[in-house]
Chains A and B, each alone.
Chain A
């Protein structure tokens, strides 16, 4: 291998490592932002739940309304699926009572209060954010792995 060749190789590797590092910083920031969003929507949802309980009175909502092992079976409305290139995403099924897709919101009352509906929306959003955060984390791991391998490689 000629001298110039080695030099250009080293240069390319160096630039690659630089862009990997910059990518890593971007991913860290995006991941942090995502975690903050998760925290915020989750606490918003929790507050709305507390508000519902406050408005409805402590006795109106209890664990007795949640199905037990002996209740009829139902399907999950929301699943995690593998999307393109190793990413995960959230798939939602429309509510369909005949086929066993039950909306858990109606376990608690026929006419759910507004705050409970809003809380449900918040928690749904949280789940999507969690999926997003997981994707970012995987990408970050990939970049970190790339950095580690590149630093060991002969080109540098």
Chain B
């Protein structure tokens, strides 16, 4: 199993019955509702008054709230007080019961902007003295779903290909190792005259290309610049031609060296072998049309 990248980074909250009940009870106070929240409410059988305006996602202010650090410090300063602990113990069983009562509703989730909306609504309602519920009391009864990696099984095709490539690699290594031991493998293909001729041919072509491009560079410097700019002294023309030819020669030299190096490597590592005829080297197979 492979872990895939997280697609949805949003924190999700499965709404509890308590939350939905509260929203259902207060629906006449809700002038507007986010689209997602309205959908969740309707799915769970709460009707929404026609007058309620549905907000689009981008209409909701979704900003990280500032934390009043001083207040937090002040409130938590007297933490070790004994009465607070007693109170906490009193509260705990109630919460448990509530959680047991509220069965999780499957299906839809609340996202961060819904929670922001809820927060602002609850602040409003508290100011109007309609209700005295805080967001944290509602959140407590909900289930928080964190973004997680999906598990994906490894593609069997990929697995097969990896297996095949591994086998080929091992075969190649084995052949390279046993090349000078096994007499039947030894003579092909490097020892045949055709192969030697072929590789010499290739190198000759590469060198000829080099010579041609240098000559062309010289010609350009000697004639081309003269034609473009006007009559130039003979010595200067030669100098120009040599300079251009030198630049081209340098560049060409680099590629030539690279190419010749590649030939060496090709000779070193036998190409991929055909399964049916493991003793025939790929290099020979490639050149078959040219062999007598």
List residues of A whose CB falls within 8 A of some B CB: 11-23, 25-26, 28-29, 32-33, 35-36, 39-40, 57, 143, 146, 149-155
Contacts and interface: CB of A to CB of B under 8 A. Distances in A.
Interface centre among B68, B76, B84, B116 (most CB of A within 10 A): B76
Contacts, number: 94
A23 B64 contact: yes
Contacts of B65: 19, 22-23
Nearest to A7: B132
Given A25-B11, A152-B84, A154-B81, A18 B134 contact: yes
Contacts of B6: 32, 35-36
Nearest to B78: A154
B67 A39 contact: no
B71 A19 contact: no
Contacts of B83: 154
A14 B134 contact: yes
B78 A14 contact: no
B79 A15 contact: no
A19 B5 contact: no
Contacts of A26: 64, 112
Nearest to B62: A26
Contact of B79 (A19, A28, A35, A152): A152
B256 to A, nearest CB: 17
B67 A153 contact: no
Interface string B124-138: 001000000011100
B276 interface: no
Contacts of B171: none
Please provide the 6 A-B residue pairs with the shortest distance between their CB atoms, ordered closest to farther: A19-B65, A14-B134, A154-B84, A149-B76, A18-B135, A32-B9
> Binding site of A, secondary structure by majority: helix, strand, loop or mixed?
helix
A25 B115 contact: yes
B72 A146 contact: yes
Interface string B1-28: 0000110011100000000000000000
Interface of B: 5-6, 9-11, 64-68, 71-72, 75-76, 78-79, 81, 83-85, 87-88, 112, 115-116, 119, 122-123, 126, 134-136, 139, 146-147, 265
A19 B67 contact: yes
Interface centre among A18, A33, A40, A57 (most CB of B within 10 A): A18
B11 A16 contact: no
Given A21-B139, A153-B84, A36 B9 contact: yes
A143 B87 CA distance: 23
13 contacts: A14-B136, A16-B71, A18-B136, A20-B72, A22-B65, A22-B119, A23-B64, A23-B67, A25-B112, A29-B11, A36-B6, A150-B72, A154-B83
A18 B135 CA distance: 6
Nearest to A17: B136
A123 B151 CA distance: 26
Nearest to A20: B67
Contact of B75 (A13, A32, A57): A13
Given A16-B75, A153-B79, 6 more contacts: A13-B71, A16-B71, A19-B68, A28-B11, A29-B112, A32-B6
A90 to B, nearest CB: 23
Contacts of A57: 265
B119 A18 contact: yes
Nearest to B84: A154
Contact of B67 (A11, A32, A146, A151): A146
B268 to A, nearest CB: 10
Contacts of B68: 16, 19
A15 B123 contact: yes
A36 B122 CA distance: 34
Contact of B76 (A19, A23, A33, A146): A146
B62 to A, nearest CB: 9
Nearest to A143: B67
A153 B75 contact: yes
Contacts of A29: 9-11, 112, 147
Contacts of A154: 78, 81, 83-84, 87
A153 B78 contact: yes
